[in-house]
Chain A
Amino acid sequence: MKHSDFEERFTAWLDHQLPEIERTAFEQELIKRGFAGASERHSADRLLALLREHSRSPDLRNAEFFHHQLRHRMAQEEAPAPETTQRRAWWSLPRLAFGGAVCLFIAAMFFAAFIPRGAAEDRSPYFAEVIDARPLSAGISADTIYTARDNVTVVWLDGLEYLPASYQLQ
C-alpha cells in the first residue's frame, strides 16, 4: 500500500522530522483539512512515550551466539564472488582436453627430437671378425671398425691417394 504524500508529511511532522520551511505550510494545511494539529501531536507524543515505556524489546539470551550468526551471514553476503567457481571454470573439461592435447603434442615433439628411430641395434646373425689387418704400403693405415648398433664390420683404410675423375673405375 502506497502512502500518500500527505500521510508521509503528516508522519514526518508528528516525528518532528519535517523541515522548518515545510512545517508552517503543513500546519496551515492541517487546519484547512480540519485537523487539530496541537492535539494530534500531543496524542502522538504521548503514544510514543507509552510505547517506549511499556514495549521494551525482549532480552536475548545467548546474544553472543546470535551476533556471531549475524556477523557470519553478513560476511558471507559481503564476500566477493566465490573463487572456487572461477577455479572450476578454469579446470573445465574443454580446458583439460586442450591441456592434454598440448601435452601430447609436446611429448610427440620431444620424441621426434630426441628418440632415435630406425637405428635400433641390429640383431641379425651377423659375424665378420677381423683378426688382423696390416697395411702393405707405406703411408696407409688400417683400422677395424665394428659397431653393435649397425652390425657391420669395416676395414677402414686411411692414407690412400685421392682418385681424380679421369681415373676410370669401370
Chain B
Amino acid sequence: MRFFSLAVFALLASSAHAEDRLWSAVLIANNAARPKEPPVELKPVVARLKRVFGYNQFEVLGADTQPIGDGTEQPLRPGTHFWLNFKARRASAKEARGGYLLNLELYQEKRALVDTVAMIAPESPLFFRGPLHARGQIIIVLQVLPGAAPQRTPQPGALRVSGEGGQ
C-alpha cells in the first residue's frame, strides 16, 4: 500500500513536471567598468544580449513563472511595475517545435504599452526593450520552458531557470 501511494505520488509529480511554463523576467542592463557576473539564467544568451543592446552588464530585477497550455489566459508579474497578460494557443507550425502562439499585452503600471502576437518555440526567449531608467535600460524577457525540460538536453542559447523565480 505504501509502495502504491509512493508510485501514485511520483506519477502525479511527473505529470506536473510535464506541464509547460512561461517564464518572464525584468532585467536592467547598463555598462559597468567591472561588470558583475551575469545571472545564471542569462549566461547562455548574455553574449547575444550584449551585441543587440550594447550593454555589458545584465541583472535580473524580478521574475515570474506561470504554467502554460492551450487556451491559458492569465497575467505574469515579473516586476512591481511591469506585468504581462497573455493568452496562449498551442502552435501547429513546425518551426515552433511545440511552442505557443501568444497574444501578449505588456503593461507599465496601469498603462498598456504594446499588444503583441508572437509565436515562440520552447527555450527561445523573446525580448521587449522597455523604458530607460536612471540605472540602465529595462528589458522584459519571456520564454517558454518545456515541461520535460529536466529530462531533455538544454538547447544552446536558451535561458535556464534554476528555480521557480518570482517575487
Contact = CB atoms under 8 A, between A and B. Distances in A.
Given A118-B47, A127-B96, A169-B133, A150 B52 contact: yes
Contact of A122 (B26, B48, B79, B96): B48
B11 interface: no
Contacts of A131: 101, 117-119
Interface stretch (A57-65, A67-75, A88-96, A160-168): A160-168
Interface stretch (A20-28, A78-86, A139-147): A139-147
Contact-residue size bin, chain A (C-beta under 8 Å from the other chain) = 35 or more
Nearest to A124: B157
A154 B80 contact: no
B129 to A, nearest CB: 5
A119 B96 CA distance: 25
B10 to A, nearest CB: 31
Contact-residue size bin, chain B (C-beta under 8 Å from the other chain) = 35 or more
A126 B48 CA distance: 12
Contacts, number: 141
A60 B101 CA distance: 112
Given A150-B48, A154-B127, A157-B130, A129 B119 contact: yes
B131 interface: yes
A133 B133 contact: no
Contact of B158 (A124, A133, A137, A145): A124
Nearest to B114: A142
A128 B99 CA distance: 9
Contacts of A150: 48, 51-52
Q: Is the interface of A mostly helix, strand, loop or mixed?
A: loop
A155 B120 contact: no
Nearest to A157: B129
Name the residue among B52, B79, B81, B97 with the largest chain A CB count within 10 angstroms: B52
Interface string B78-100: 01110000000000000111010
Name the residue among A118, A126, A132, A156 with the largest chain B CB count within 10 angstroms: A126
Interface of B: 26, 28, 45, 47-49, 51-52, 61-62, 79-81, 95-97, 99, 101, 105, 108, 111-121, 124-135, 138, 155-158
Given A125-B155, A128-B124, A133 B130 contact: no
A46 B127 CA distance: 126
A127 B111 contact: no
A57 B113 CA distance: 121
A170 B62 CA distance: 7
13 contacts: A124-B157, A127-B95, A127-B96, A127-B99, A129-B120, A133-B115, A133-B116, A135-B115, A153-B124, A155-B126, A160-B113, A162-B133, A169-B133
B111 to A, nearest CB: 6
Given A135-B114, A149-B51, A157-B128, 8 more contacts: A127-B97, A129-B118, A136-B113, A137-B113, A157-B113, A160-B130, A169-B80, A169-B133
A122 B48 CA distance: 9
B124 A136 contact: no
